[in-house]
Structure 1
């Protein structure tokens, strides 16, 4: 499969149509700039990414970076576009049964209702909105595993923010034996529930979806977009000049790591 290397991550270079036709099983992550920056300093996140079978581009800025590096990516496939495309693609496929895990109380259930009404059948067979900090609670995580296993779902869509969602899949996927497809899709459940507005398409196309989201959720996102993600531009320049060394970043930051993944990320 054609892949594009950006920093320490290889991204699958597929169109959305090709991807939907290809996706029969496996783990799907949707990297963006924030993911790439976390992958520079979090070895556990790197480990979680190692279990993914598909990494599809969820950022117009990554598209521009890939073009600058001389290895263009064919299409942006954001999580918020992927889920509706996926359930529409499988509208008549009775073997596809989706479980939604994420968002605040009642939001996943609303997304389940909205999707099923849109599709005309119960393609979403279950939903669960975990408590804040659920990833620290082994009992709740085991209850979630049991709920998913008892739901009959074959597809898990988890949206609790990165790196929580990717690490949760990495930790519990082997216990979810009926799940064939795992998708970590961030705020997509909120979008499907109508709980959060998406950026207008023209804003997304010019690479300013991050600014739209920042204006919608400044308290939660200001640090990510205005501090943590800014060094991405310098790293891309280093890669362009063949000065970027993955192992140096991971080695340095693994020594400087201050807290575990249980406290990282917020949804």
Structure 2
């Protein structure tokens, strides 16, 4: 396991990114001068920051970074001395608001993610549930860089306004950064496994009682034990260790944070 000092440094780095002042995606207007990219991190990001060179830089390239999970949101709030609210791209959080925003402003949406057929089926679900115009959908698996750039070209040619990318970290962040660098100026969101969740459990994956009592992590572990037991019980450990160390240190852990 990563050393405590490495884990603390990684958590502080993530917290600094979560604490940045940023634009509100709700002010986005189509055909602007630059893309606006929004991504989300959970406690697993501490280990990824340690183990994957460049991951922190990819996150820093996002215009908005939000905490997907109450544990990370609470840790960031303690360190920064102000409330950092938990938000994620799912049916119990931002997804309905994003799709309503797209519908209200007649924005074209693209879905990129999952294995073959997942994005297309999710597009049909979202069109029915949210009355949103999904102009393009494809899997998150590509046959080399040429295939990736062909996708970028297609998204620009279609004048897609909003891209929702569910390829898992760090691939989804790198996809959106590459799309932005190709000259696209839309609104991009990462969504992790939400496309699969929407097919498996409906657009609102979590029952209301689970969401109300903040039991999302145990509920997901119950629903998807084979995929998530290692993440929750092993890969979250660097975050747990770092957060405990910072709690023991008392007071804000970042320079400039309010006591």
TM-score (norm 1): 0.74
Q: Is 1:8–2:46 an aligned residue pair?
A: no
Q: Is 1:21–2:49 an aligned residue pair?
A: no
- Where 1:127 maps in the other structure, the secondary structure is strand
TM-score (norm 2): 0.76
Equivalent residues, number: 232
Structure 2 unaligned blocks of 5 or more: 1-9, 30-34, 255-259
Task: Kindly state the Cα deviation for residue 149 of structure 1 after the two structures are TM-superposed.
Answer: 2.4
Q: Is 1:203–2:210 an aligned residue pair?
A: yes
Alignment of 1:82-231 (within 5 A): 82-94=94-106, 96-120=107-131, 123-131=133-141, 134=142, 137-175=144-182, 177-192=183-198, 194-196=199-201, 198-231=205-238
- Where 1:156 maps in the other structure, the secondary structure is strand
Task: Kindly state the Cα deviation for residue 220 of structure 1 after the two structures are TM-superposed.
Answer: 2.1
- Where 2:94 maps in the other structure, the secondary structure is helix
Look up the match of 1:249: none
Change (3 A) 1:205 1:70: farther
Change (3 A) 1:161 1:51: same
Q: How far apart in 2 are the matches of 1:23 and 1:230?
A: 37
Change (3 A) 1:209 1:119: closer
Task: Kindly state the Cα deviation for residue 65 of structure 1 after the two structures are TM-superposed.
Answer: 2.1
Residues 160 and 187 in structure 1, CA contact (< 8 A), matched pair in contact too: yes
- Where 1:40 maps in the other structure, the secondary structure is helix
- Where 2:160 maps in the other structure, the secondary structure is coil
Q: How far apart in 1 are the matches of 2:201 and 2:221?
A: 13
Task: Identify the range of structure 1 (237-246 vs 146-155) with the bigger mean alpha-carbon deviation.
Answer: 237-246
Q: Is 1:73–2:83 an aligned residue pair?
A: yes
Look up the match of 2:67: 57
Q: How far apart in 2 are the matches of 1:215 and 1:92?
A: 36
- Where 1:79 maps in the other structure, the secondary structure is coil
Residues 76 and 84 in structure 2, CA contact (< 8 A), matched pair in contact too: no
Look up the match of 1:34: 44
Structure 1 unaligned blocks of 5 or more: 247-267
Task: Identify the range of structure 1 (18-27 vs 137-146) with the bigger mean alpha-carbon deviation.
Answer: 18-27
Task: Kindly state the Cα deviation for residue 148 of structure 1 after the two structures are TM-superposed.
Answer: 1.9
Q: How far apart in 2 are the matches of 1:245 and 1:13?
A: 15
Residues 45 and 163 in structure 1, CA contact (< 8 A), matched pair in contact too: yes
RMSD value over aligned CA atoms?
A: 3.1
Task: Kindly state the Cα deviation for residue 98 of structure 1 after the two structures are TM-superposed.
Answer: 1.0
Deviations along 1:33-53, one digit per CA (max 9) or x if unpaired, are 112331233231111112111
